[in-house]
């Protein structure tokens, strides 16, 4: 069985996207707290960072959503038959 089989690839992609979403949430929270306490002096850096994190988060979330919508094959009817 190869790694590129649909049965193993979708859960792997979902796990990777979930980890990316969690990292984005943590990074966004950290940047927001730093902005509240005025640790970062440049306001445009904060906004660009938050928008970039938002785009990556949204892309990961959409990937998970699309993977959940795609029906997975439950049966393995064609394997082994000729």
Per-residue confidence band for 73, with pLDDT thresholds at 50, 70 and 90:
low
* Boundaries of every domain in the chain: 8-69
CB 27 within 8 A of CB 53: yes
The tens digit of pLDDT for each residue in 42-51 reads 888 888 999 9
CB 40 within 8 A of CB 46: yes
- pTM for the full model? 0.72
* Three-state secondary structure readout of 41-78: CCHHHHHHHHHHHHHHHHHHHHHHHHHHHCCCCCCCCC
Per-residue confidence band for 9, with pLDDT thresholds at 50, 70 and 90:
confident
């Amino acid at each position: 069985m190869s790694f590129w089989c649909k049965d193993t690839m979708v859960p792997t992609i979902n796990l990777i996207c979930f980890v990316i979403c969690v990292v984005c949430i943590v990074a966004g929270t950290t940047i927001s707290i730093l902005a509240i306490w005025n640790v970062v002096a440049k306001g445009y850096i904060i906004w660009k960072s938050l928008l970039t994190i938002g785009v990556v988060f949204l892309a990961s979330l959409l990937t998970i959503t699309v993977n959940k919508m795609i029906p997975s094959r439950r049966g393995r009817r064609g394997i082994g038959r000729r």
